[in-house]
Amino acid sequence: MSEYEHFNYRQLDPNTSGAVTDVTIPSAPDTHLAASLKGGAVIVTQDPDDRVKLSAVLGWISDAGANVLRVSIYRDAPSTEGGTLIFSTLDATDPDGANGTVSIVHVDAPGTTGVVNYFLEVSMELGTGSLIGPVTFIGEVIHP
């Protein structure tokens, strides 16, 4: 039977829509680091067979026209420093411009023991948009 070994998170305070202002999401290939699990929110595995469940919620707003947001998770370092891409997905909003909320879940098998850092990044694949909140990034170590 599996059990949770370690839990950590990052989130806005208050973690509400509109809590963030003036955070324009850059066009790909540039990215914006929305949240990270490192430092005081580090994930620590105890066994090479441990899994890490990663969950995130991101609130964003798009301008009128076609808009496509990419949400990615990197292990060990951000993309700008050569991190390993472990998850990526796309989200789109209404062509008239609208608020969007992306919720993701991914299970990683880092295959190591000790500190594992994770980085939640966003970029615009098409159109323009901004982060507005909420932003939550959670990591949970699961021991098999």
Kindly list the averaged pLDDT for each block of 10 residues, start to end, along the chain of length 144.
76 88 92 95 94 96 89 97 98 83 97 97 95 96 91
Q: Where are the beta strands (DSSP E) in the chain?
A: 3-11, 23-25, 32-37, 43-45, 51-62, 68-75, 84-92, 99-108, 114-116, 118-126, 129-143
Specify whether the CB–CB gap between 35 and 137 falls below 8 A. yes
DSSP 83: P
**Peptide bond preceding 14: is omega within 30 degrees of 0, i.e. cis?**
yes
Per the DSSP assignment, residues forming a β-bridge with 126 are 68
Query: What pTM did the predictor assign?
Result: 0.94
CA angle 55, 61, 65 (to 5 degrees): 125
Specify whether the CB–CB gap between 58 and 131 falls below 8 A. yes
- What pLDDT is recorded for position 18? 87
- What pLDDT is recorded for position 3? 72
Domains assigned to the chain:
3-143 (2.60.120.660)
- Cα(13)–Cα(11) distance, rounded to whole angstroms? 7
- What pLDDT is recorded for position 33? 97
- Cα(39)–Cα(43) distance, rounded to whole angstroms? 9
